[in-house]
Chains A and B, each alone.
Chain A
Amino acid sequence: AQSVTQLGSHVSVSEGALVLLRCNYSSSVPPYLFWYVQYPNQGLQLLLKYTSAATLVKGINGFEAEFKKSETSFHLTKPSAHMSDAAEYFCAVSAQGGGGADGLTFGKGTHLIIQP
């Protein structure tokens, strides 16, 4: 079974500041890890994914995330926040190789607020 914990339901940063959204996972097998972004009244769009290749993953819109097995973490960062980054962000985990129900297990989401 897998689970995801996102620390902070709301995160507020100033425009131009570092964005750090935290995600910790639990998985009994090697995981695939994902970050999705959701803009108001829209579906979820993939930002980036980790599938057991490089531990530092680069995604769209200047975001990146680092897989740290020892810390069971997959935190999302962006060096300089832009107003257009304001959205809901979801971390998700999927078990490699099957076992149990399929699909991704999502965290509860972090609402990113950008202050001008």
Chain B
Amino acid sequence: NAGVTQTPKFQVLKTGQSMTLQCAQDMNHNSMYWYRQDPGMGLRLIYYSASEGTTDKGEVPNGYNVSRLNKREFSLRLESAAPSQTSVYFCASRLQINTGELFFGEGSRLTVL
């Protein structure tokens, strides 16, 4: 049972570099999310996709872009990484918008030097 799969699990970048975090779910969920987790801050929503073909900003979208490639996949892109983006990133999904619990991936730890 794969559930939500994120790649890569670890990444180190230099300031100004770009990268894409990949996320895929195999539960036929409609809604997908990207969160970041920082010590003492809990989880904060970056972007979400209520359904295939739509994306919307969350609480902390600046410096990020997303793509809902298809129903299964939702990627997060950092165009020009900054040290403030050092964090653990979690992808999550649920059956549909505003219902039920989120199912989380195992996280991607990103360090920006």
Q: Which residues of A contact B (CB under 8 A)?
A: 9, 32, 34, 36, 41-46, 49, 51, 90, 94-98, 101-109
Q: Is the CB of A102 within 8 A of B43?
A: no
In the complex, A96 Cα to B42 Cα: how many Å? Answer: 22
| A43/B90 in contact, CB under 8 A | yes
Query: Using Cβ atoms and an 8 Å threshold, which residues of chain A touch B50?
Result: 102
In the assembled complex, which residues on chain A have CB atoms less than 8 Å from the CB atom of B57? 101
What secondary structure prevails in chain A residues at the interface with B?
Answer: loop
With beta carbons under 8 angstroms apart, the residue of A32, A103, A108 that contacts B33 is: A103
CB pair B101 A46 closer than 8 Å:
yes
Contact residues on B (Cβ < 8 Å of other chain), bracket: 20 to 34
A45 to B106, CA, bound (A): 10
**Which B residues contact A (CB, under 8 angstroms)?**
4, 31, 33, 35, 40-45, 48, 50, 56-59, 90, 92, 97-107
Chain A residues lying within 8 Å of B90, measured Cβ to Cβ, are 43-44
Q: How far is the CA of A34 from the CA of B99 in the complex (A)?
A: 12
Q: List 19 A-B contacts (CB under 8 A).
A: A46-B101, A90-B42, A94-B98, A95-B98, A97-B98, A98-B98, A101-B45, A101-B48, A101-B57, A102-B33, A102-B56, A102-B98, A103-B102, A105-B45, A106-B44, A107-B42, A108-B40, A108-B42, A109-B40
- Which 10 residue pairs spanning A and B have beta carbons closest together? A43-B104, A108-B42, A106-B42, A106-B43, A44-B104, A43-B106, A103-B45, A98-B98, A102-B97, A46-B101
- A34 and B31 CA atoms in complex are apart in Å by 18
Chain A residues lying within 8 Å of B100, measured Cβ to Cβ, are: 32, 49, 51
A106 to chain B, nearest CB (A): 4
Residue ID in chain B nearest A6 by CB atoms: B42
Instruction: List B contacts of A109 (CB < 8 A).
Output: 40, 42
Nearest chain-B residue to A109 (Cβ)? B42
**Could you say which residues of chain B place their CB within 8 Å of the CB of A90?**
42-43
B87 to chain A, nearest CB (A): 14
Give the chain A neighbours of B107 by CB distance below 8 A: 41-43
